[in-house]
């Protein structure tokens, strides 16, 4: 399972570099715990262009990610891996790891033995859905974070591209498990 970070697991605050500002979204830990309990690898895929823009350093992203892991652990959940793209084409280089490119999903699939056509990408932005589709996963769009703004901006493309639109991560995970006839 691949999930976006900001706006999907934690509050969307824009260019988050202060770990003390990281706040779990309601139901996020519960959703991740459900996947953890089933042995489903959970991998975060995140764009962190603040690094390329000179707004913060990679060590700041690592500190925020560590804080997120601590917050989840306190609620009995965990992430198997957290990948991020530090690039932005206007400030840095073109790459295959910046969503909507599928590079980090492909990397995660290789490292964890995930079959992409049997997996999902979940996020609150169109680029999350596009990255998932480019990698060959199913894609679920969330209304959390920037989701409502994205729906106003790109409703038609989201409706056509996403396999499902859900209120939050918990609803997405429940829908996925329902499709697999798994009850928890």
Active site residues: 4, 6
Phi and psi based region of residue 49 (left: phi greater than 0; alpha: psi -120 to 50; beta: remaining): alpha
Q: Are strands 2-3 and 164-166 parallel, antiparallel or unpaired?
A: unpaired
Q: What residue ranges in 4-76 does DSSP mark as E strands?
A: 43-47
**H-helix or E-strand spanning residue 12:** none
Dihedral sign, Cα of residue 16, residue 18, residue 19, residue 21: negative
- CA-based nearest residue to 27, from 125, 173, 150, 148: 173
Helix, strand or coil, per DSSP, at residue 180? coil
Q: How far is CA 114 from CA 5, 109, 166, 176, in A?
A: 19, 4, 23, 16
Cα angle, residue 9 at apex, residues 52 and 177 outer, rounded to 5°? 130
């Amino acid at each position: 399972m691949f999930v976006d970070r900001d706006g999907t697991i934690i509050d969307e605050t824009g260019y988050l570099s202060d770990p003390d500002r990281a706040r779990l979204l309601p139901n996020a830990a519960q959703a991740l715990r459900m996947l953890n309990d089933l042995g489903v690898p959970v991998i975060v895929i995140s764009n962190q262009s603040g690094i390329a823009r000179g707004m913060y350093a990679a060590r700041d992203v690592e500190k925020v990610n560590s804080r997120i892991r601590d917050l989840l652990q306190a609620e009995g959940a965990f992430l198997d891996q957290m990948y991020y793209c530090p690039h932005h084409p206007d400030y840095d280089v073109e790459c295959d790891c910046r969503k909507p490119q599928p590079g980090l999903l492909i990397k995660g699939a290789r490292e964890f033995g995930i079959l992409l056509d049997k997996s999902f990408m979940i996020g609150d932005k169109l680029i999350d859905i596009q990255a998932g589709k480019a990698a060959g996963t199913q894609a679920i769009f969330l209304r959390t974070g920037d989701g409502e703004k994205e729906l106003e901006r790109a409703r038609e493309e989201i409706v056509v591209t996403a396999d499902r639109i859900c209120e939050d991560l918990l609803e997405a995970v429940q829908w996925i498990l329902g499709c697999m006839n798994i009850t928890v």
